[in-house]
Amino acid sequence: MVTNTAEFDKWINGPGKAFGAATDGMRAAFRAGTHVQVGNWIDARDAAFPANLHSWPGMVCGYYGGPMATNVWAHSDWRAFGGYKLPIWVGGMAGAAEGQQAVAQLEQLEVPPGCETVLDMETRKDRTYVQHFGEVLQAAGYRVLVYGSTSTVFLNPQLNGYAVADPTGVPHMYPHPGVRMTQYAFGQVFDSDVVKHWIAQDGFLWR
């Protein structure tokens, strides 16, 4: 996606034209340093390493744990970002046990119950793991979006919704029931996403 005003203007005059007059508000939000809203979606970025998002003023997504997590963000990493935050757990094999670990980590990070989290399943289908992991987090008051590719993610339980990888390069929400978030572009150091705005309005995002 974009990292500075020049790149943002380039996007606005290219793929962003599809959003018509809405781009005026998007440009103002970007330059004001607030979260960038694309139509009814919030523009977000996810990265393994928080340093790769250091100049991004909007919503961030990063790893808070999981056996396969490339890099777990420290408490101080999360605190460096003042906007919306979405913590991601990279799934392993022990659903209930990992769910307990995830709850402990969320509590340590001071993520309030009621907030959305993400369970990263990549291309894997494992209904039992997802169900057991989700039951533990939901019992503790947390919400869970199940992330994966379009070919497999919908074969897993929905829990509180789906986060779908569909890297077209253009902001969009994947058209399938239960989709709350779409990863629309892969990058070298971060990926770009959109999240349905009502999730923030209903108080389901950590800030």
Phi, psi of 123 (to 5 degrees): -100, 15
Hey, what amino acid is at 165?
Answer: A
pLDDT tens-digit map of 58-95: 999 999 999 999 999 999 999 999 999 999 999 999 99
Q: How far apart are CA 6 and CA 39, in angstroms?
A: 21
pLDDT tens-digit map of 87-141: 999 999 999 999 999 999 999 999 999 999 999 999 999 999 999 999 999 999 9
**In sequence order, what are the residues at sequence separation of 6 or more whose Cβ sits closer than 8 angstroms to the Cβ of residue 51?**
none
Q: How far apart are CA 74 and CA 88, in angstroms?
A: 13
CA 22, 28, 29, 30 dihedral sign is positive
- Name the helix (H) or strand (E) containing 8: helix 5-12
- Give the start-to-end residue ranges of the domains of the chain: 45-201
Phi, psi of 54 (to 5 degrees): -60, -30
Half-sphere exposure for 194 (CA within 13 Å, toward CB): 21
Fold of 45-201: TIM Barrel (3.20.20)
pLDDT tens-digit map of 135-167: 999 999 999 999 999 999 999 999 999 999 999
Hey, what amino acid is at 14?
Answer: G
- β-bridge pairing 85-90 and 59-65: parallel
pTM to 2 decimal places:
0.83
User: Which DSSP state fits 206?
Assistant: B
Residue count of the chain, please give it. 207
pLDDT tens-digit map of 86-98: 999 999 999 999 9
